[in-house]
Structure 1
């Protein structure tokens, strides 16, 4: 293919030449300007058309490619020899994950359920009997507590511990109310709280950490433990620990609970807590599962602020690169989704533009076809009307009364000035005084035919045709217009003679 405007069109592939042809047919743009725009649109005709009409904004394809190239890759985790040996010896990677899974604890709302009144009345006798038996049984257990530990039955210890946990006098509430109560009790005991405790249930805190790719620090306290107060005042509320947790760049969510509450007690059981105060760091472990939350660090028992902070920082340092990689990959995926959405929107806009143009073309073609059809129908109707008019004139020319003789009586002599379009000039003719004005109009209408052939032909009147004269006859002095009446005669209107003039009248198009 020959070069055009310095561009070698022969170097384009068949699909590119087809795209160029489609683009130029729609936009009418010069080839020299169309090819660079198509190249910037990756030879996508729809995108190129949208850029041509809507303006060329940012290149979404280039942005998507740049976003894909700029995805940070997860930094490799560095382990020392001791950690590697421990992992190889106890946690085979092909058999089980390296971190303990973090369960999602949802407290059961069974304690919040209220029995209907009717059922309560039916079960009231059984409830009274149960309370009496339970009272007797607790009394027996109370006396058995005086026995040495070695002589107590196993069920006594378990029943006592269970009774102590369940009869602490704390009302079972919803997780959000429990979190608010824990914060109030914490502030009443240790002063104003400077830690951002999560004000909802542990399951919601775990979901927030998983969604936002943050670390969840779970703190479980037991007021009955001797080291709880010193741990909170000296370690948990130490300036360095509070500053580290409140730093947004560390991405730490703190959830605290009192094991006397039902939810915190369930969390302690699920997380295998055997010593208080208890803390653990939980985060998403992408290398062990895209949706798996794992316990990456346990901090059990009293410890110094330095040791406590070092344990948290070590877990964050070790698993932070994995979360950063997952966070960057998620951001890149979100950007790619947004770019695809923008591309789809641009494609839909271009399709809407094409549909609108196609609709306008169809409407214009339909209007042109309707106008052409209407003009054709009008032309056919005009031709048919003209044909019927000519047939009527030929028929009417045969019925026009002949001119009376010069010596006849009761004759009206009229001088008629024919219209300039007929070319007849001034015609003088005699009419009987009984000649109607309609007969006079017929004489003027058929004057040319009366000159060409004699009357008495065999032409018949066309059916359904009503003739209308395209002129009017008027007298000169005085000015009076005469209508083609079949009752009025020339003798009544003009007497013995007169001068008449024929004037053309523009007929209405519908007529």
Structure 2
């Protein structure tokens, strides 16, 4: 019996098969005789079905098993990499803060340290001091120069593009140069890694480094039909020295005298006048602000007094409106109604006593109001306000009591915290109680 063609394809049997004489003839050909060999029928449909099934199974295995396994391994490796990076390479991955986030004083200190590190030993042995560099940003130093009339030296360096630095080191470490600086002359320094120094170098068109410049307030004078007239004050560079333009034959003292001291002496008289004008302007501004402050304080005091006066008048009107409600509280109630009242003795600072009978449904706040009426002698007062007018006028109004009501029973209890309680709910005053009236 012949095997099915698709099974033979799986088992690897190829070629031809013998046809039995009793089997019906093949419909595909009419030339085969009974008992003869016939060409094998090519049936690819079952084999193709198996291959497609295997592909589907492979795809399912890939989606369900392989891909999740690969993703899981990748996540594990990334996690291990992050842990190792944190444990062993934390310091290497710590990036320095941005330049603009560094404190200006730290920048100055770093600049000074770099200067000292770059000095030659022969110089540092003889000259062991640097100028008193301004501890702050260039913006702050410029403010001092423009608003206080100070002379501002700026020292800019660029380690990648410097020439004639030897003579510069002798200049800035010279005692003659250091003695220049006082309360009216300051120096600021920075290298081009500092954004402020970089911007300053661009604004001053500095191309050679190191650079040493002097800035101060200046103004010119021009003739007009009305006479000489001075120009507005402006910040100007009056002297500068930069790398590549230093005569190596000149010593540091000569350069300091010719380049800086002579220029400072030339502009100093006019600068003294500018300083005086700035000081006068500053004092005028301080005086003006002081006057404004005093005026505002006076206005505030007047407003406070006006509000207090208005509040006192409103309080008095409120007490007059309430006075009739408490007019007969000093009379004892009938015996059959005694349980409906609380008998309260009020002791005043002058040792006088007043016995009052309050209906038990009233609140402790009514006791405070009655005491205030007694203090202002308004017991017999009346008011012309109707109930609706009083409701609108005294809406959200509360009397500010400048006394305390205290129960002497231990522990002493301040009744201020119990203003919203009904009298019958407070056993310190119902059915009987004693309250001490004390001024605040």
TM bracket, shorter-chain basis = 0.3 to 0.5
Larger Cα-atom Rg: 1
Higher RCO (C-alpha under 8 Å, 6+ residues apart): 1
Q: With the length of structure 1 as denominator, give the TM-score of the two structures.
A: 0.32
| Higher fraction of helix | 1
Question: What TM-score, normalized to structure 2?
Answer: 0.36
